Amino acid sequence: MAFTERLLQAWYSGHPALALLRPLEALYRRVVTRKRAVFISGERPSYRAPVPVIVVGNITVGGTGKTPMILWLIEHCRRRGLRVGVVSRGYGAKPPSLPWRVEAGQSAEQAGDEPLLIVRRTDVALMIDPDRPRAVQALLAAQPLDLILCDDGLQHYRLARDLELVLIDAARGLGNGRCLPAGPLREPAERLSSVDAVLYNGASADSTGGFAFQLRPSALVNLLSAERQSLDHFPPGQTLHAVAGIGNPQRFFNTLQALDWQPLPHPFADHAQFSRQALSFSPSLPLVMTEKDAVKCQAFAADDWWYLAVEAQPSAAFTDWFDAQLQRLL
């Protein structure tokens, strides 16, 4: 088990040795709290875009279903006639220059896995740059837009925002409730009281603390041919290799088990780079991976490699609330 995986496990399950990290946690809390305070007070200026900016982020380390929610928001806004753009840090991307406009024909190495997935799925205008204000300015200079979605960036206070949506894994919650490095929190838990909405991935119903949303599998897609098959393509009890290089691989493996398949799990680090050799497992079985991983594997995929397409399904109450926010902002 890799060090990062062991650390995540300790954060979310609890480990007494983490108490040794509390002095560093106290220092980290002071730094991040001060960082936010200087922007909130106006001591340091934030860039205010001429169109509404909606940040979709989290306060925890580890996957929360952010990319599927971004995809849902893009399509939901488009159905209401809005021209939507997306900015992203582009974690792991190596573009020739910054800011960089992501196009569907680019490689994951150049564009980043999550931005490339979003563009290939939606053909949305998307700019990557760790400097989010610069990315927004470049995107707006490229074409007229009504709304900007910021993929992650909750802690990037140089970009002013009109709405903050925070995603939390319902099963793991806030782990031990402590900040880095003693826990998984990027900011103290009290930060949640200042965001506009909290969405719990995997929750069965809304609660006083936030809205529920689910990730629903929709199809199997072949990496080589792009052939789409229904979820009964594999019979019940099918044994298969399962690959997940995401923030919470176990959630993906649990999804495959819920489809009545028997996954042999192969977890990788989030944003991991793959090769044909690294994914040549024994025995020879069908291989199913996440869509985020698939964008990095199509060039060397085998005939029986598939990705599981999933769709975010937020609660009706969230949809109503979000529509009310759009009406207010626009």
Q: Compute the average pLDDT of residues 6-11.
A: 87
In the predicted structure, residue 55 carries a pLDDT above the cut 90: yes
In the predicted structure, residue 106 carries a pLDDT above the cut 80: yes
Distances in Å between the alpha carbon of 152 and those of 60, 65, 86? 11, 11, 10
Q: Compute the average pLDDT of residues 1-11.
A: 78
Q: What is the pLDDT of residues 149-204, one digit of tens each?
A: 999 999 999 999 999 999 999 999 999 999 999 999 999 999 999 999 999 999 99
Q: Which residue spans within 120-160 are E strands per DSSP? A: 125-128, 147-151
Predicted TM-score (pTM) of the model is 0.95
Of residues 262 and 2, more confidence is placed in: 262
Would you state the pLDDT for residue 158?
97
Would you state the pLDDT for residue 1?
52
Q: What is the pLDDT of residues 58-88, one digit of tens each?
A: 999 988 999 999 999 999 999 999 999 999 9
Task: Write down the H helix ranges in 14-125.
Answer: 22-40, 66-79, 108-111, 113-122
Would you state the pLDDT for residue 50?
98
SS (H, E, C) 236-271: CCCEEEEEECCCCHHHHHHHHHHCCCEEEEEECCCC
Q: Which domains does the chain have, with CATH numbers?
A: 3-212 (3.40.50), 214-313 (no CATH)
Angle, helix 66-79 to helix 316-329, in steps of 10 degrees: 60
Range of lowest pLDDT (4-8, 26-30, 110-114, 255-259): 4-8
Q: Which residues contact 268 (CB under 8 A, 6 or more apart)?
A: 243, 244, 245, 249, 274, 293
Would you state the pLDDT for residue 15?
87
Q: What is the pLDDT of residues 263-287, one digit of tens each?
A: 999 999 888 999 999 999 999 999 9
Contact 145, 53 (CB under 8 A): no
Helix (H, G, I), strand (E, B) or coil at 220: strand
Contact 290, 308 (CB under 8 A): yes
Distance (Å, whole) CA 78 – CA 59: 28
Would you state the pLDDT for residue 200?
98
Summary mean pLDDT of the chain: 95
Would you state the pLDDT for residue 202?
95
Angle, helix 113-122 to helix 66-79, in steps of 10 degrees: 30
Binned at pLDDT 50, 70 and 90, residue 222 comes out as very high
Which tokens in the block code for residue 256? 């495959």
User: What is the DSSP secondary structure assignment for residue 132, as one 8-state letter?
Assistant: H
Would you state the pLDDT for residue 197?
98
Binned at pLDDT 50, 70 and 90, residue 92 comes out as confident
Would you state the pLDDT for residue 67?
95
Cβ atoms < 10 Å from Cβ of 276: 12
Contact 33, 25 (CB under 8 A): no
Would you state the pLDDT for residue 54?
98
In the predicted structure, residue 8 carries a pLDDT above the cut 90: no
Q: What is the pLDDT of residues 202-217, one digit of tens each?
A: 999 999 999 999 999 9
Q: Compute the average pLDDT of residues 122-140.
A: 98
Kindly state the percentage of the chain with pLDDT values over 90.
Answer: 92
Would you state the pLDDT for residue 2?
65
Distance (Å, whole) CA 65 – CA 311: 10
Write out the DSSP string of 195-209: SSEEEEET-SS-BTT
Would you state the pLDDT for residue 215?
96
